Amino acid sequence: MNRQYIKTGNIDEIISTMSEDNTIAKEILCNCMQEFASTWKYIEWLIVLDDMNIRGNQIQIAYENYATGDIKMLIKGIENRDPNIVDLINSAYVFEERACLSGAERPGKVILTDHNNEIWLIDTSWQVKYRFGDETEILVSDSKGSCKISSIKYLNDYFILIDNFVMHIWEFANVMETKKYHYVPALPRKINIYQSILYHPPKTKRELKRHQRSLQVN
């Protein structure tokens, strides 16, 4: 099985992807959603679940064998990345996909590190186009010349909130390129523009400062 990377902000599609046609797993995920204060908090939890490479039948095993039918216990176990969940899943049945504590491999996935809650807008080849603070606005135009201003907020290294819609940064790039949209910063604030730089943010604050100094656009 070749599990694809989650790149949608539609919660129903995310649940469908994560349940892998297992109706019990889908029901479990829907029940879990009711325990979260917001959709984004729930998606954050799903991102952890996916990073542990737990989907479909594995979700059902985690719920039944680890949490013994307790939704809150399952949620807490995933939040804590409890190794007992991984052990139970991997020992309960021989799956083609193995559960792990973190770092599940996905086609095209680039491992990101903390970069002080900055928004990095990329293209579909993971080349950095713009970098902002934790929120900004962009002016988006189509081939006919119609324009609109969209607001963007940082959620985590992979996800942004654009016009109140949760979106993966690669998905955003794909939408822009597929629909042949063009976008530029809408706010008169100082930004950095990069060309031919892969999205591999520095791992430490010291490296980040050095990186910013070397690439700062005045």
Chain segment 140-197, per-residue pLDDT in tens: 988 887 888 999 998 887 888 898 788 888 889 989 999 999 898 886 544 444 444 4
pLDDT at 48 over 60: yes
The verdict on 18 and 82 lying in the same domain is yes
Same domain membership, residue 204 and residue 125: yes
| pLDDT tens track for 105-123 | 776 555 555 557 788 888 8
Q: Are residues 87 and 152 located together in one domain of the fold? A: no
In angstroms, what CA-CA distances link 13 with 19, 43, 154, 166, 213?
10, 12, 22, 12, 41
**Domain limits at 48?**
11-92
CB 25 within 8 A of CB 49: no
Domain annotation covers residue 55: yes
Whole-number percent of the chain with pLDDT over 90: 34
Statement: the pTM of the whole predicted model exceeds 0.85:
no
- Domain co-membership, 205 together with 157: yes
